Structure 1
Amino acid sequence: MPSRPPLTPTALYVGLWLTLAGTAQAQALQEVVVSANRQEQKTFDAPAAVQAVGQDVIGVAGPRVNLSESLNRVPGITVLNRQNYAQDLQLSIRGSGSRSPFGIRGARLIVDGIPATMPDGQGQASTISLPSAGRIEVLRGPLAQLYGNSSAGVVQVFTADGPARPEVLGSLDAGSDGLQRRGLQAAGQQGSLNYLVDLSDFRTDGWRQNSAAERRHLNARLRTEVSDQTRLTVVANVFDQPVSGDPLGLTRAQLATNPRQADIRSTEYQAGKDVSQRQIGLVLDHRLDGSSELMARAYAGQRDLESRLSIPLMFQQAPTAAGGIVEL
């Protein structure tokens, strides 16, 4: 009885392609709505390079502490976790902002329509509450100019809608080096009021000396339908980071001796920063017709920062020196 001829590479490739094609036809793709040009539309209709990360992806990507957990899968964007909560993430869109030593530059951060980027162009991703995020949009390219000058891209975070049935959820994440994130969330619909209130507490001892961090976050969104065409949204955000040490960099010899150690200047000057922020905003939407709407926003906030730098005392004593502590 003649044996079956061996399967050629071409036949193998075709067989896999047919299998994948059959699987793709059996699955229905969900419709994705984005806000690339400041108005909600289908992602395929948006004349821009825009991707959206949904709540399901955000929830399984990690403990929902840093944007790098869920955005590292978006093309054209690089989000590096420095593992240093005193310097925050390094976020670069198409190369812009890749040389920023701290904070985020070259890209605008917007949360529920309210800018999270300061007037000087610097943003802090740590103030974004990921446990309450419904989706994250990344807009790349020239269309980002709709959101401001000198913007190579835009990262927008939208708080999730409360479910039709009110619910209270608790969450707990734990890891090595004392990592813990505890969360409590209440959300639902009461008449014309849709609400979501999220409270989270994060802390870690850090892998290196003087790298411990603590964060407390409160994010709330209340939305009511004033009429069939008008709705009012109240957004409140409170962020407190009282502890975030900066272990500084190590030389090659220090790294070989003990990679967990901190530079001696880090412990001598207790390098790190304390930051707190309080913000509230009102967003009024009025739909004129099926394709046009008016939107007005009013917001106010206060941000306090104290940063302890590792500048040797001999340089701080110079008449022209700015000192070793920054208070803003």
Structure 2
Amino acid sequence: MNMLNNILAPVDFSAASHTALLQAARLASLSGAKLHVLHVVESDSVAVMAGLRDGNVDHHAQEVVEEARSVIPHWLEGCKLPGGYETNVVAGKPLHVILEQVDSLHADLLVAGFTGKHGFIWGAGSVSARLARKAPIPTLLVRAEQPQTFQRIVACVDFSDASREVIRQARQLAAQDGAHVDFLHVWREPWVVLPRGSIFADAEPPAIIFTEKERLAYMENLRHQLHELVREEAPGIMHAEVLREAMSHGAGILDHARESRADLVVIGGTGNTSLRHMLLGSTAEQILAHSTCSLLVIKTPGG
């Protein structure tokens, strides 16, 4: 990851957040960035506990904060954190506190567990998913079973403004980990209407029928665009340039990630779509909901 000065790693003492912390520590060591470890005591839970006892929310919040502060050093034992790291425990709403810390610390990268304390078979936990949507900086969501280094990366290229940064970040991770990258462009014939049940359910089938020759020419143009982008932005790494046809961009990405046994998907927080308000949104939301591997969401201005 390029130009990292501050990495924020929120932890909730779950297995996924422990693995995410190890990944954050590794990236901080490689980049020379300062690591900030944050635990948020959920204010809503404290309020419920206080209501069952004496109603003194502030008193119980301070008690839980102090308890968490005493637990963190033991939880961090054996984590091999870089020198100069800092820990902080704050009471509040996790999403709001984390985003405030991103701003106050001038964090360059947010690293969190893909799922939280309650866990899911697949898909991001609620706080993690909201961080991926709302954080203004690159956000890495790490699976509990994720090994320390990434071996197979899928970088999603849609030719939007974010694509170049997606390619650059994937290349840098691959270079430092010795990983293989599939630079993936999922495409759908531009004359194919969305299926019924979508917001365009009443759309009429197109009157123009494209020939096989025109279809092949369209694919060749996509292949050329992908090759030129990768050539410019990702020299010197093991990679493949992949075109995949699918009715849904999100489904195409998820299928390719599973089939290639990817351990990381890199995707832009905005994309090339006429339904711009739906992106993170449509494609990224689908990946957040169903991904079985770690996910790096790259943010660009307007993302």
Normalised by the shorter chain, which TM-score bucket?
Answer: under 0.3
Name whichever structure is richer in strand by fraction: 1
Structure 2 length normalisation: TM-score?
0.23
Bigger Rg over Cα: 1
Structure 1 length normalisation: TM-score?
0.22
